[in-house]
Amino acid sequence: MERKNTGWEEGAKWYDQLVGDSGHYYHQEVIIPFLKTWFSSTPKKIVDLGCGQAFFATQIPKNWTYVGYDASKSLVQAAKAKGIHSCHVQDLTTPMLKSTEEFDIALFLLSLQDMQEPLIALENAYKLLKLKKELWIVINHPCFRIPRQSGWGIDENKKMQYRKIESYLTENLIPIEIHPSKKETKKVFHHHFSLSTLSKWLKQAQFNILEIEELVSNKTSVGAKSQMENRCRKEFPLFLCLKCEKKENSICL
C-alpha cells in the first residue's frame, strides 16, 4: 500500500472540537463504561497510543499513571493546554529504536484504524509493555462499520432493517472529508482491515488475544420504524474491543 499523509495534523482542530474534554457521545456512553470493567484498583502505568488530545487521561483511576503519544503536534499541544502534560509527539507508524518495557497497559482507543501501518504500531506497543502485560484495542467494528462501504437498508416485504456491506476483505485507506460543506475541504483517512488481517498482525507482533467484546449502541428510536431500528442496534455492534497479552518470546529488538 502506497504510504500517504493520513491527514490527522491537518484535521487536528476539527478532531479536538469533535471529541472535546470528555470524549464524544459514544466515548462517554458506550466505550468508557465498558473499559472501566477492565480497570483495577491496583496502580497501573498506561500508555495511550494515538492519544489525540488525551481526554482518556481524565477517565483512569487516580492511582494510575498516564502517558500519551500522538503523531499530531497540534493535538499534543491541545492536551497540554488542558493540563495533561505527559503527552509526547511520536509517529507510531515508524519503528521505535529501543524497547522501554515500562507500561502495564498499552491502549489504542479508536486510533489503530487511523494509522497507515498498524503492524508497526503494534510492534511499538510490544516494545513499551512489560512482559505478560496487556494491550487494549478499541476499533470501529470492521465487519459492520466501513466508511463508504457499509450502510442501512430496509426490506419492505419483511418489514426489517438490515446492514449492507459492499466490501470487507480488501484492506483499504478510505478518505473521509472534514467539513465537506466548506470551500476548502480537508480529508483524513480511515484504514479498513479485516479481522483475519488484524489477527495476523497481532500474532506477528507477538500478542495473544485474551478477550473479545462487541459493543452496541445504547440509543433508542421512536416513531414508525423504531421497532426495526432498535432491533438492528442490538444485532449489529458499533465497536470491537480486544484485550491481548504480550507473549514471552520477543522478536522486537
Secondary structure of 117-169 in HEC code, one letter for each residue: CHHHHHHHHHHHEEEEEEEEEEEECCCCCCCCCEEEEEECCCCEEEEEECCCC
Across residues 218-241, what is the average pLDDT?
93
In terms of Cβ atoms closer than 10 Å to its own Cβ (0-12, 13-18, 19+), residue 183 is exposed
pLDDT of residue 8: 65
Q: Cα torsion for 143, 144, 147, 149, to the nearest 10°?
A: 80
pLDDT tens digits for range 80-105 = 999 999 999 999 999 998 788 899 99
Sorted by where each starts, the structural domains of the chain and their CATH numbers stand as 12-246 (3.40.50.150)
What's the chain's average pLDDT? 90
Residue 22 pLDDT > 90, yes or no? no
Residue 116 pLDDT > 80, yes or no? yes
Tell me the helix, strand and coil percentages in the chain, rounded to 5: 25, 30, 45
Query: Sorting pLDDT into bands at 50, 70 and 90, what band is 133?
Result: very high
pLDDT tens digits for range 34-63 = 999 999 999 999 999 999 999 999 999 999
Higher local confidence (pLDDT), 224 or 117: 117
Out of 11-15, 99-103, 212-216, pick the least confident: 11-15
Across residues 224-229, what is the average pLDDT?
90
pLDDT tens digits for range 152-169 = 999 999 989 999 999 999
What's the Cα-to-Cα distance from 140 to each of 67, 114, 115, 135, rounded to whole Å? Answer: 23, 10, 13, 17
Ramachandran category for residue 186: left, alpha or beta (phi over 0 → left; psi -120 to 50 → alpha): beta
Q: How far apart are CA 46 and CA 186, in angstroms?
A: 32
Higher local confidence (pLDDT), 69 or 101: 69
pLDDT of residue 188: 83
Residue 70 pLDDT > 90, yes or no? yes
Query: Comparing C-alpha atoms, which of 221, 178, 219, 174 is closest to residue 193?
Result: 174
